[in-house]
Amino acid sequence: MSQQAEIDRRAFLTGHWRSKTDISTGCLNHMGIYCQSCKDVCDEDAIIFTQFQRGVQLPNIDSVRCTSCKECIDSCPADAITIADNPVVSS
């Protein structure tokens, strides 16, 4: 099985393909304030900090690893994380 097929299979089995987790520009890191509270609580290591802006790294969601558990939402001091239905599969 190819690597992409395995990723798609895991997405289907975990059910996270039904929703999409997003981090808005309201995130403290977008304002130049260091924060990684969402990453600290993510047991799936689905939040990855990459590219720099204003001296801090910005968060990105790995949609393959994200299980939509909502732990990151509860930990975000800026209420910058949302989980919404994935428009590709919700119709």
The answer to whether residue 22 sits within a structural domain is yes
**For residue 11, how far is the Cα from the chain centroid?**
14
Longest dimension (CA), the chain: 42
Q: Which pTM value belongs to this model? A: 0.71
Q: What is the CB neighbour count within 10 angstroms for residue 19?
A: 19
- Which CATH number goes with the domain that contains 56? 3.30.70.20
Question: Structure tokens of 7?
Answer: 């990723």
The answer to whether residue 90 sits within a structural domain is no
pLDDT in tens, the chain (91 residues): 677 667 666 666 665 556 788 999 999 999 999 999 999 999 999 999 988 877 889 999 988 888 888 999 999 999 999 988 765 554 4
Q: How far apart are CA 29 and CA 58, in angstroms?
A: 6
What's the structural domain count of the chain? 1
CA-to-CA separations, 72 to 1, 9, 11, 13, 52, in angstroms, rounded: 32, 24, 19, 21, 21
